[in-house]
Homo-oligomer: A and B are copies of this chain.
Amino acid sequence: MYQRKIPELLDCGLAVSIKVIGGKWKAWILDCIRRDIRRPSAIHREMQEVKPRIINLHLKELEDYGIIYKEIYAEVPARVEYYFTEVGKSLLPVIDVLELWGNTNKEYINRKHADYKEGSCVMLPESQRQN
């Protein structure tokens, strides 16, 4: 486990929120669980682009924060499913707000961003790619 060298400032609400959902794949994972894709292997299948190891790390982190929890069914082989805690449920509308703002403004942001740094390497959705 990585040991921080610089203490985190977590007294600001915004810093806390971003810590929880700011990870590269966290939102996607939360979205899976919201859509009833609850088992690790199912999430792995859903997120082909991302290595299982990475997903596991994020799941663990979200579990650490008390956003999701695990049910381990004593079957054979053991079945694991993730569910939202109450706090986790309260996070969903927040994600919706972010998702909405992002979708509303992504063309604007991407265009502006491209205007400045043409060196950037942005992956457009397939429908917009032109190579």
Residues of A within 8 A of B (CB): 1, 3-4, 7-22, 27-28, 49, 64-66, 87, 90-91, 94-95, 97-106, 108-110, 112-113, 115-117, 119-125
Contacts and interface: CB of A to CB of B under 8 A. Distances in A.
A16 B109 contact: yes
Nearest to A23: B18
Nearest to A4: B121
Chain B CB within 10 Å, residue with most, of A1, A17, A108, A113: A17
B64 A123 contact: no
B66 A119 contact: no
Contact of A116 (B14, B17, B64): B64
A8 B98 contact: no
A95 B14 contact: yes
Given A122-B7, A123-B8, A17 B98 contact: yes
Contacts of A116: 64
A15 B25 CA distance: 9
Counting from the closest, the 10 A-B pairs by CB-CB distance are A13-B102, A13-B103, A16-B102, A66-B112, A7-B123, A11-B125, A17-B102, A17-B98, A13-B99, A14-B27
Nearest to A13: B102
Contacts of A4: 120-121
Contact of A98 (B14, B103, B115): B14
